[in-house]
Structure 1
Amino acid sequence: MTDQALHLLQKQIAVGDQRAFRQLFDFYAERLTRFAYSILKNKDAATEIVDEVFVKVWKNKETITEIEHLTTYLYTATKNASLNFLSRKANEQITDSFDFINIQLQDEECPDQQMITSEIFKSIRAAVDELPPRCKMIFKLVREDGLKYQEVADILHISVNTVDAQMVIAVKKISEKVKGHFDFLPRFVTKKS
């Protein structure tokens, strides 16, 4: 893409042209995903990072014309988001390790409870990963990024009702995936009592 064509896209995106944004996304997404994958070594995480970068670009579309070198900006944003992702994962692992040690010291039953909790979280993560892309993006924007339904609707240019419907679908699918764990818990607790 020529610099002139890129500047024209930036101007169109700045005024809310979704087709121009889609053209920008289609042009860069695969390349940026490969770039993020080279850092993360995880295809799903790389795709998620690139999606987040483009969501931020769209959310701040009014200022896109202020970016002088958009290609450099997109790659830098992808790199930074990937490194932040790795940093968060490392911190989660450290925190999980300390939490596990503290739990072990407090209660004899904690290893069983820790195992059950770990299985539930794995099931929830797997269920979220299996959501359709649009549903997954909406779920993550609402649940993980803490955005309001209206904010998600504005970012994705969809109605609040669509956000609500996608959240209902996501919660239902996740609930179905982890339902067995919660059916098991009361029997487990009863046996221990």
Structure 2
Amino acid sequence: MNGNDYKTELWEKICSRDDMNAFESLFHSLNKRLIQFCVVYVRRIEIAEEIAADVFVKCWENRKSMPEIKNIEAYLFVAVKNHSLNYLKKYSSVTWNSLQNENKYELIDLFDPEKEIELKELAFKMEQAIQSLPLQAQLVFRLIKEDGMKYKDAAEILDISPKTVQTQLYRAIKKLSHIFSAYQTKAVCKSNT
């Protein structure tokens, strides 16, 4: 059973049987990804956590009237996107802060402190590079490369065509490659001095 089938099965249990365990499983399988997705819009983790929680609460409260939803994952991503946009409209004077999620990258060699610093620096540079992308390219990159979504699902969530998803992903990868080739050139020059 693939991930979407599993989530669909959970959603059916939630709607038909008020199954709290199924709801908790659905929450744990998607909450972190929804928060990361939301942060791209609102730029504050606390707000992203509130928005994701609100979406889950509304789903639980309205479960009886929503059994026709077949792709609950896509539905939740679209709901988070819409709540995020509504938040931005309401609080457009909010200062945008950059997010530094230290737990995002776990590949650390504990026996080599120098390597640990290099990996953290690289992760920080990668996050900065992703945040420098135009918003749509950033969202496409995160959904496809970080969340492992298919083009069709990302297109549905962002309300764009799969071809636009493909184009935006190509542009994002091209820009990131350019940024990191410059970074790599600097690193080689630094190590040769």
Shorter-normalised TM-score: what interval? 0.3 to 0.5
Structure with greater helix percent = 1
Whose radius of gyration is greater, 1 or 2?
1
Highest RCO, 1 vs 2 (Cα 8 Å, sep ≥ 6): 2
